[in-house]
Amino acid sequence: MQRRRRLSAILALGVIAGLVVPTAATAPPAAAAPAGGKKVIANLFEWNWSSVATECRTNLGPKGYGWVQVSPPQEHVRGSQWWVAYQPVSYRIESRKGTRAQFKSMVDACHAAGVKVVVDAVINHMSGQDNGGTGWAGSSYGHYNYPGIYQSQDFHYCGRPGNEITNYNDRWEVQNCELVNLADLKTGSDYVRTRIAGYLNDLLSLGVDGFRMDASKHMPAADIAAIKGKLSRSAYIVQEVIHGAGEPIQPGEYTGNGDVHEFRYGKDLARVFRSEKLAYLRNFGEGWGHLPSGSAAVFVDNHDTQRDVGGVLTYRDRGIYALANAFMLAWPYGSPTVMSSYTFSQRDQGPPSDSSGRTLNATCYSGWECEHRWPVIANMVGFRNATEGAGVVNWYDNGNNHIAFGRAGKGFVTINDEDYAVNGRSYQSGLPAGRYCDVIHGTFSNGTCSGPVITVDGGGWFAANVPAHDAIAIHVGARLS
């Protein structure tokens, strides 16, 4: 049974116990982890290239995001749905999100802002249109015929009914049959591998820093390794491999190629926040049987899981979603990605677009949810950066839904998801004496804090009241002079 939650009237205001959540009315080398000290990725799902460029300059860079993940940039089938971007018809960098020149300009703008670029790379398959047609940029194609790129011999025909995957307990079928009618590339072929690598190398020539390998579970890890071996330079690699209990294909098989998405993370975190106890999070991650921290790419939700009703927390959960993201950014497991969505009411709904189908510029809190800008989430990116590499110390829990922990002299957070305030308590932060900005409720800028200030004494202690379903977070990067 779910614990008692917030009143709908409070949700409508977007404010929960002092925790502000924006609404339309209140806009505020394949390494084992992303390279550099700033490892948080913002997934600007389906943003067009000019909007990504602007966001890198105005928000992602200044807030400390190290990376931006952008949606597939290749030419795709026509249509209004979100998933058309996952049906390539050619490897031209021309899509409803913009032109090749706009893409290159976006990469340069993000780099100038100190933000690296990860491309969602669709390399397992081509389109799923039986009768073919004309792609976004004018390329003609058939289901198994992509002139100048692939012909029928370059695809798998597994012989199962409809060539479709029906049994996820059959490894061969999962990696040789079609995923929802998408023409499955023969990635064991050197010709196909070379073609795929050519596309990825073209993106590298435009300055791209890494790839999210879509549908990696449907390709043997050795095929991905062979494609990676054809890359012109090193790049960050993260692979989409959805864990299935008892299935023969497991995420751990792919860690030799780079990071792997840990899909259990978001589902487990949602279950804990919705109906279990935050005290259970004391060993969250590897202690729960998840991937090793150095190989895990984690998220509260992504573009797929947020469309699975009830499975994970999403922007619709407002305050509890913000708290879950705050925990993810405070807890030293895996490499975190923050989701940034557009508002949708139907599963297949695409991004805001004009009459021609071209994606509109992103306007936060008006058609675009922009979770990466929510003050709680954006400010906790600085917490993550300031505490990178520091272990967990001074764990506290009340056996239920009030927890607190430090990050070895770099930061401290306490989360109270009880239905009542926790007042009059003192916390051992392990931080040097001083005055710190509570980044859950305020922004630290130019040595000042727009919200509450927490005073830590010479012994590392501070006293604070934490309202119900709220939190406090302080770190050495937000210490007042």
Amino acid at 65: Y
Q: Is the dihedral of CA 85, 115, 301, 221 positive or negative?
A: positive
Query: Distances from the Cα of 295 to the Cαs of 172, 263, 333, 422, in angstroms?
Result: 25, 13, 10, 36
Beta strands in 243-308 (DSSP E): 259-261, 296-299
User: By three-state DSSP, how is residue 79 classified?
Assistant: coil
Q: Are 51 and 364 in contact (CB under 8 A)?
A: no
User: From the CA atom positions of the chain, what is the Rg in Å?
Assistant: 23
Structure tokens at 162: 């409809």
Contacts of 53 (CB under 8 A, 6+ apart): 105, 106, 109, 110
Q: Is 347 left (phi over 0), alpha (psi -120 to 50) or beta?
A: alpha
- 247 catalytically annotated: no
Structure tokens at 213: 């390998």
Catalytic residue among 75, 94, 223, 240: 240
Place of tokens 């305050």: 319
- 268 catalytically annotated: no
The packing angle between helices 190-205 and 221-228, to 10°, is 50
Amino acid at 262: E
Pairing of strands 461-466, 422-428: antiparallel
C-alpha to C-alpha distance for 406 and 430, rounded to whole angstroms: 7
Catalytic residue among 120, 184, 209, 214: 214
Catalytic residues: 214, 240
